[in-house]
């Protein structure tokens, strides 16, 4: 180890320091919530600056265990944005419920540190440790409202299935390492390239790869490994649901990029059928179950499963030989992050007063009661549906385009994705119908969220619209980030 | 060293399978947590066995095993804390009674 290694992982180091600073400020100045929030937001601003300074640079640290490339910078930037938005949305929700804001911010920053470490990991063991650093604080956050039975119930289910899948992933890693003799992603790729050339694969290695894939599928909530998602999302405090629906999800796809593309790239023709089936089943089942949900949080949970399916279409396109599938995944990740966080944030705004449910009836008459919130929710839902000219449209378009270009069975998958997008319009637009065309059963007071919350909503909405009107802004970054390792 | 790599791998594979079965079959959250620990320790046995029989992997194996122990400890801490939190709300450790959200 030397100082240049520290420079390469500077964003991760800075992020850990921010989390520590939040705890120290809370200890030194108890009951000064403004100081805590200012430390968290200012610190994350510094982390963002460090990430931007690294843009365009490349390098590796700790003997190749950590790589700095365009992909690392792109994903780091998304993760920091997620952390900032979660804090902006969280304050208004956490405070009326008497939950500690400093712990919330510190645990969140630790989780995001793990996600940032995943983004640059090119070593199996580092990847696993980074994954655990991301998900362990996630379990705590899910159960953050510890006197709320729903929150703890969602958390325990998230924890049990999450650590079960971690054990499966680790078992796979142990075999891959034991048989290829290396933990480096490029070393594994070289060993697998020999296998691909030779034609036969050792049973132990095949088993290891299968276990590893199942573990990753659990983390990204692909059907049939999705059972934890609805309860974890519905039970968690709503701003934390907003985080859980994007942070660990983009993190899981970061693992997929580093692992499937970086390490398993040479065997991609072999895992293509698996990804096609996973993508098809995931988006179809996610959408079908979402249609019958009356709770908007639960509906958005199933919708996030469907979006996993669409992102998997991009991975399938890569496996089918179309490299643009990777840029499509990254664009989808960025667009999905902002529109999905925005949608959950509107739910959080309505639930600002403790006791308000996330049932669809709460949305009746929102268009008249709270015209701004209603309009924002409509934008986010239309974007999630994939209506042009919003970010969600281009996200789906790029993924589907990459699949069509790859051809073969992927054309059928692209058609299925389009059918699914059309079917999904039903349950997204149902909320819009409630907001503008239904009379509320009881008159609710307009929820007037605080300044931080409004800034967060403004940022997510502007980005959702800007990525839709000028997708070239984002595609320049995603095209650069889509070229790495494999 | 007696035995072969294969016999140790079979042993750790059986332990992992027992852990998986325990996780899927048990209803008590604490038992499920114990099953997960068993799975992680089975992984550790795999790692140490590879290290003992493949000379090139010896140092790797020690480091990986230590990391796995640390991660398992962190996981057990978070898990027990969550089990205690939900026990205070529900007064039961049986996971199939945690069904207030499914419709």
Q: What is the pLDDT of residues A373-408, one digit of tens each?
A: 999 999 999 999 999 889 999 999 999 999 999 988
Task: Give the chain B residue whose CA is nearest to the CA of A132.
Answer: B71
Burial of B3 (0-12, 13-18, 19+ CB in 10 A): exposed
Q: How many CB atoms lie within 10 A of CB A369?
A: 18
**Chain A CB contacts of B78 below 8 Å:** 136, 139-140, 159
Burial of A181 (0-12, 13-18, 19+ CB in 10 A): middle
> Whole domain around residue B27: which residue ranges?
5-95
Residue A486's pLDDT is: 43
Contact A171 B83 (CB under 8 A): no
In a domain? residue A486: no
**B15 interface with A at CB cutoff 8 Å:** no
Q: Select the residue from B45, B55, B82, B88 to test the A interface by mutation, using most A Cβ atoms within 10 A.
A: B82
Map tokens 């405070």 to a residue. Answer: A95
Of A143, A167, A177, which has the smallest distance from its Cβ to B82's Cβ? A143
Write the CB contacts of B100 (distance below 8 Å, at least 6 apart in sequence).
Answer: A149, A150, A153
Residue B94 CB: number of other CB atoms within 10 A? 12
Task: List pLDDT tens digits, range A239-283.
Answer: 999 999 999 999 999 999 998 888 888 888 888 999 999 999 999
**Residue B60 domain flag:** yes
Joined tokens for residue A368: 């008249």
The half-sphere exposure of A2 on its side-chain side, counting CA atoms within 13 A, is 3
pTM for this model (two decimals) = 0.95
| Contact (Cβ atoms closer than 8 angstroms) between residue A170 and residue B43 | yes
Residues A182-230 have pLDDT tens digits of 999 989 999 888 888 877 788 888 899 999 999 999 999 998 888 889 9
Answer whether B44's CB lies under 8 Å from B50's CB.
no
- Assembly ipTM: 0.95
Least Cα separation, residue A110 to chain B (angstroms): 14
Alpha-carbon span A236 to A220, nearest angstrom: 18
pLDDT(A152) > 60: yes
Q: Are A241 and A344 in contact (CB under 8 A)?
A: yes
Q: Work out the mean pLDDT of chain A and round it to a whole number.
A: 91
**Distance, CA of A457 to CA of A339 (rounded, Å):** 10
**Neighbouring C-beta atoms of residue B17, cutoff 10 Å:** 13
Examine residue A427 and state whether it is found in any structural domain, yes or no. yes
For the stretch A114-140, pLDDT in tens is 999 999 999 999 999 999 999 999 999
| B82 vs A: CB within 8 A | yes
Q: Alpha-carbon distance A101 to B75, whole Å? A: 23
Q: How far is A409 from chain B (nearest CA, A)?
A: 35
Residue B3, pLDDT > 80, answer no
Phi, psi at A123, each rounded to 5°: -140, 135
Task: Evaluate whether residue B15 is within a structural domain.
Answer: yes
Cβ pair A174:B43 closer than 8 A: yes
Looking at the domain assignment, is residue B101 inside a domain?
no
**Does A179 map to a domain?**
yes
Q: How many domains does chain B have?
A: 1
Distance from CA of A464 to the nearest CA of B (A): 31
CATH number of B39's domain: 1.10.287.3510
Please report whether residue B103 resides in a domain. no
pLDDT at A199: 72
Q: Provide the number of structural domains found in chain A.
A: 1
From the CA of A49, how many Å to the nearest CA of chain B?
31
Interface residue B19 vs chain A (CB under 8 A): yes
Residue of A nearest to B30 (CA): A160
Number of Cβ within 10 Å of residue A34's Cβ equals 10
Per the structure, the complete domain to which residue A112 belongs is given by 3-481
> Using an 8 Å Cβ cutoff, are A157 and A233 in contact?
no
Instruction: Name the residue among B50, B75, B82 with its Cβ closest to that of A152.
Output: B82
Q: Has residue A266 been placed in a domain? A: yes
In contact, A279 and A413? CB cutoff 8 Å: yes
């Amino acid at each position: 180890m030397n100082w240049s290694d520290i420079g390469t992982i500077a964003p991760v180091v800075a992020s850990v320091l921010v989390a520590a600073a939040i705890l120290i400020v809370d200890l030194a100045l108890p009951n000064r919530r403004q100081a805590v929030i200012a430390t968290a937001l200012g610190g994350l601003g510094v982390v963002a600056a460090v990430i931007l300074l690294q843009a365009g640079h490349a390098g590796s640290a700790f003997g190749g265990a950590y790589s700095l490339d365009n992909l690392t910078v792109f994903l780091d930037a998304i993760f920091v944005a997620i952390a900032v938005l979660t804090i902006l949305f969280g304050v208004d929700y956490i405070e009326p419920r008497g939950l500690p804001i400093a712990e919330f911010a510190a645990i969140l920053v630790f989780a995001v540190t793990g996600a940032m470490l995943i983004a640059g990991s090119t070593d199996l063991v580092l990847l696993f440790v980074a994954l655990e650093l991301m998900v362990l604080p996630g379990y705590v956050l899910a159960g953050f409202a510890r006197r709320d039975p729903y929150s703890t119930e969602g958390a325990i289910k998230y924890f049990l299935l999450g650590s079960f899948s971690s054990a499966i992933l680790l078992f796979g890693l142990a075999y891959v390492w034991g048989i290829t003799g290396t933990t480096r992603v490029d070393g594994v790729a070289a060993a697998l390239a020999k296998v691909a050339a030779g034609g036969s694969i050792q049973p132990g290695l095949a088993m290891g790869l299968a276990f590893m894939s199942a573990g990753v599928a659990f983390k990204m909530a692909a059907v049939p490994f999705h059972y934890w998602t609805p309860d974890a999302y519905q039970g968690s405090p709503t701003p934390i649901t907003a985080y859980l629906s994007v942070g660990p999800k983009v993190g899981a796809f970061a693992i997929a990029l580093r692992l499937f593309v970086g390490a398993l790239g040479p065997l991609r023709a072999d895992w293509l059928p698996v990804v096609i089936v996973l993508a098809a089943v995931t988006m179809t089942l996610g959408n079908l179950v979402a249609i019958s949900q009356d709770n908007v949080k639960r509906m958005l949970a199933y919708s996030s499963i469907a979006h996993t399916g669409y992102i998997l279409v991009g991975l399938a396109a890569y496996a089918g030989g179309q490299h643009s599938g990777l840029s499509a995944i990254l664009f989808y990740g960025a667009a999905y992050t902002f529109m999905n966080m925005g949608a959950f944030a509107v739910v959080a705004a309505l639930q600002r007063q403790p006791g308000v449910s996330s049932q669809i009836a709460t949305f009746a008459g929102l268009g008249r009661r709270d015209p701004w919130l209603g309009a924002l929710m409509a934008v986010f839902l239309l974007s999630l549906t994939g209506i042009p000219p919003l970010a969600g449209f281009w996200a789906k378009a790029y993924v589907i385009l990459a699949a069509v270009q790859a051809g073969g069975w992927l054309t059928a998958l692209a058609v299925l994705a389009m059918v699914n997008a059309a079917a999904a319009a039903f349950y997204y637009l149902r909320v819009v119908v409630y907001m503008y065309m239904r009379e509320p059963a009881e008159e609710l007071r307009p929820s007037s969220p605080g300044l931080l919350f409004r800034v967060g909503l403004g940022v997510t909405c502007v980005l959702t619209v800007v990525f839709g009107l000028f997708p070239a802004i984002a595609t320049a970054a995603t095209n650069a980030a889509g070229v790495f390792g494999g | 060293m007696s035995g072969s790599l294969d016999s140790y791998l079979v042993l750790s594979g059986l332990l992992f399978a027992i852990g998986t079965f325990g996780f899927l079959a048990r209803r008590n959250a604490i038992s499920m947590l114990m099953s997960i620990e068993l799975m992680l320790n089975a992984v550790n046995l795999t790692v140490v066995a590879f290290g003992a029989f493949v000379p090139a992997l010896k140092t790797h194996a020690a480091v990986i095993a230590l990391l796995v122990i640390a991660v398992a400890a962190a996981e057990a801490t978070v898990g027990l804390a969550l089990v205690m939190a939900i026990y205070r709300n529900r007064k039961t450790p049986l996971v199939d009674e945690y069904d207030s959200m499914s419709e």
